[in-house]
Every structure is written in structure tokens, then in C-alpha cells.
């Protein structure tokens, strides 16, 4: 016998959600709640119990997706990486010249570091050193990000006309310099009183970036 609405019409059949889709939805909720908690509360207060509550997910479903806190934190780290890469590609994709893309790198990274996901990643970087279950995994993860970032930046520089090994070494050194500098400034910017000063420092770094790029581009390698 078919059920009907008050108007006498047949009730629409409820769509049966496949297990894989439910699992993906649960996983996404947990990762989103983790990033938000890292941003608002920090690493040590972001427990698996708290994340499950914030995500509206049962403890059992939580453990099925992420048996340990380290598993959950690494999933959040990969999600933040993907979000940052997507934003990076979106912003640079708006520009045509390789030089303009290079000069936009600092702005894009700074924007990302000031976002809630950027602060969450800083929390992970600062806290995982003392977590034996996570330290090695996060170090391998970070090393991969650094290598890929340097590779993408050098590809921009090749498109702009650079080719020598010396130029590549200097570009790699600059990438490490600005990435480390921006992370430090982002930590400083967490204090409201230092936010404006950090922004001024970023502008100074951008001026150096433009001068550096022109100098390296003109060099013979």
C-alpha cells in the first residue's frame, strides 16, 4: 500500500544513500570540524571526542573513519593542502605573464596563511613536533609540499626565461625564504597588535621580491 500526502498525492520515495556516499559525507564533516576546531581552539584542545560532537557524528563512525587522532590530523592536513593548491591555481590562473604569476606568489600565500585553514595548518606545524604519533608523518608531508612548491615556482621562472642551475638554486632559496618569513609573520599576526606591522613587513618582502626577480632574470647564470 502506497503512502500519500495530505493532498492525496503519493509521497515521493526517499532516496537510499549508498554507503560510499554516506561514508564520504561523514569523513568530510569530521575533517571540516577538525579544521574549524584547530583554528578556534588549537591543536591540544582538538580531541577526537570534541570533533565528533562538533561534526554531529557518533563515536563509532568517527573511529571507523579515523582510528587515531594522528589519522584525523593528517586527513585535515591533506585537505588544507588541497584547498591551498586550488586557491593558488585559481589566483594565478587569472594572470597571463609568468612574471606576474611569480610576483603574485607572496600575496596568495599570505592570504592563505591568514585564513582559518591557514591558522589551522600553523597549529599543526607547531604542535606535531611533540606528538610522536604524528611527527614523522607530518614531516614527510611537509617535505613533499616544499618540493612541489619549489618545482611549480621554478616552472614559472623557466616560462619567464630562466634556465641555468645557478638561477634555479637562487629561486629555490628565495622560495624557502619567503615561505618561512610569511609563516613567521602569520604567527606574529595572530596577536591583534602585531597585525598591521606584519602586513607592512609583507609589503617590504614584496618589494624585495620584485627587485630579486629582475636581477636574477638578467643574470647570465
| Residue 30 resides in a domain | no
pLDDT at 50 over 60: yes
| Residue 141 resides in a domain | yes
| Residue 26 resides in a domain | no
pLDDT at 1 over 60: no
| Residue 56 resides in a domain | no
| Residue 100 resides in a domain | yes
- Write down the pLDDT at residue 29: 96
pLDDT band at 21, cuts 50/70/90? Answer: confident
Domain count, the chain: 1
pLDDT band at 13, cuts 50/70/90? Answer: low
Average pLDDT over residues 194-217: 94
CB burial string 168-190: b at 16+ within 10 A, e below: bebbbebbeebbebbbebbbebe
| Residue 182 resides in a domain | yes
| Residue 37 resides in a domain | no
Distance CA 136, CA 129 (A): 8
Residue % of the chain over a pLDDT of 90: 80
pLDDT band at 17, cuts 50/70/90? Answer: low
When computed from its CA atoms, the radius of gyration of the chain, rounded to whole angstroms, is 23
Domain with 188 in it: 77-218
Amino acid at each position: 500500500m502506497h503512502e500519500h500526502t495530505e493532498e492525496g498525492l503519493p509521497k515521493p520515495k526517499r532516496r537510499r544513500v549508498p554507503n560510499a556516499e554516506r561514508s564520504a559525507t561523514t569523513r568530510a564533516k569530521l575533517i571540516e570540524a577538525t579544521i574549524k576546531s584547530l583554528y578556534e581552539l588549537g591543536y591540544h584542545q582538538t580531541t577526537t571526542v570534541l570533533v565528533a560532537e562538533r561534526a554531529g557524528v557518533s563515536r563509532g563512525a568517527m573511529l571507523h573513519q579515523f582510528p587515531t587522532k594522528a589519522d584525523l590530523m593528517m586527513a585535515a592536513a591533506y585537505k588544507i593542502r588541497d584547498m591551498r593548491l586550488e586557491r593558488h591555481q585559481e589566483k594565478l590562473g587569472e594572470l597571463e605573464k609568468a612574471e606576474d604569476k611569480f610576483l603574485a606568489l607572496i600575496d596568495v600565500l599570505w592570504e592563505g596563511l591568514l585564513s582559518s585553514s591557514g591558522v589551522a595548518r600553523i597549529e599543526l606545524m607547531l604542535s606535531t613536533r611533540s606528538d610522536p604519533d604524528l611527527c614523522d608523518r607530518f614531516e614527510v608531508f611537509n617535505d613533499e609540499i616544499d618540493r612541489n612548491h619549489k618545482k611549480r615556482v621554478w616552472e614559472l621562472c623557466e616560462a619567464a626565461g630562466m634556465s641555468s642551475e645557478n638561477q634555479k638554486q637562487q629561486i629555490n632559496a628565495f622560495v624557502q625564504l619567503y615561505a618561512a618569513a610569511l609563516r613567521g609573520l602569520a604567527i606574529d599576526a595572530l596577536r591583534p597588535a602585531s597585525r598591521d606591522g606584519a602586513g607592512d613587513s609583507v609589503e617590504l618582502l614584496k618589494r624585495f621580491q620584485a627587485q630579486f626577480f629582475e636581477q636574477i632574470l638578467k643574470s647570465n647564470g
